[in-house]
Amino acid sequence: MNDNKVIIGTRGSALARWQAEHVASRLRAAHPGLEVELSIVVTEGDRFQAGPLIERGGKGVWVKEIEEGLLAGTFDLAVHSLKDVPAGLAPGLALVAIPPRADARDAFISRDGRGWQALARGARVGTSSLRRVSQLKLLRPDLAVEVLRGNVDTRLRKVADGVVDAAVLACAGLDRLGLGDRITARFEIEEMLPAIGQGALALEARDGDARVARLVAPLADAATAAAVAAERALLAGLGAGCQTPLGGHATIAGERLLLRGLVARPDASVVLRESLEGPVSEAASVGARLAEKLLAAGAAAILAETA
């Protein structure tokens, strides 16, 4: 093993490569002389770009092959969009750093520049997320929501070409790719609760790899780590898969953390929203308790229906 070299495993999409290069540049800046290179991995999610994500096995389709490479020693570090990482990691792996978060909100992009409130009745809006589907139906029941898969460029092209009239994507990905000017409007958190971990990156390595943990330590952001710890504890406590519309987002003010959570039926006939506040130092506990609150409010029945 070359102690002065780090190999980063990443998907090959433009956004994934940007994220990996961003981490690589920060590692080089923190450790002058460190050699960092990328190893591109094709995941199941990359190979199957048609149809709902749940047909391919949920969030794990974006990370499984990368985690296998980590465990095999093919590379030392993985860079993920945290929202793509399941609540349970593969045995032998750990999240070793969470860098500062980008804009966690969802972006609305329309072909003619109209906001979501001004779209014509029956307008077609594309998204691959059940979380976004249910919240769009709640905001505008008259819209026709369609499945829209593919990378960021593909989705933007489908809007431009009239395949759909508008689309909903993550603000963070568009901003990172220099495409923020394509955003018609940014949903407020109260309008569309983001996905758990949205806007945050996750650095994953082999559990117990002290060398890699030491190298990535300067990249970590304590506030972001606490916020996503609460969100991921909510996800774990609900035990929800990709078949259930689910959102969660934590904000921090001083030493206090506010966590919002949402569980819905896909058709938006029931949308449950709850929130809970607590000390930042007890972030994971706040998430676990909010999960219990949502389950008691009716989320257990929704989860049973969509399991």
Catalytic residues, which ones?
Answer: 84
* CB-based burial, 165-185: b 16+ in 10 Å, e otherwise: bbbbbbbbbbbbbebeeebbb
- One-letter amino acid of 182: R
Collapsing DSSP to helix, strand or coil, 21 comes out as helix
Distance CA(53)–CA(287), nearest Å, equals: 25
Q: How far apart, in Å, are the Cα atoms of 240 and each of 124, 180, 232, 263, 293? A: 28, 31, 11, 9, 15
The per-residue DSSP string of 56-79 comes to GTGGGGGTHHHHHHHHHTS-SEEE
Collapsing DSSP to helix, strand or coil, 271 comes out as strand
Q: In what order do the strands lie in the sheet with 124-127?
A: 144-147, 124-127, 166-170, 106-110, 185-186
Distance CA(61)–CA(48), nearest Å, equals: 9
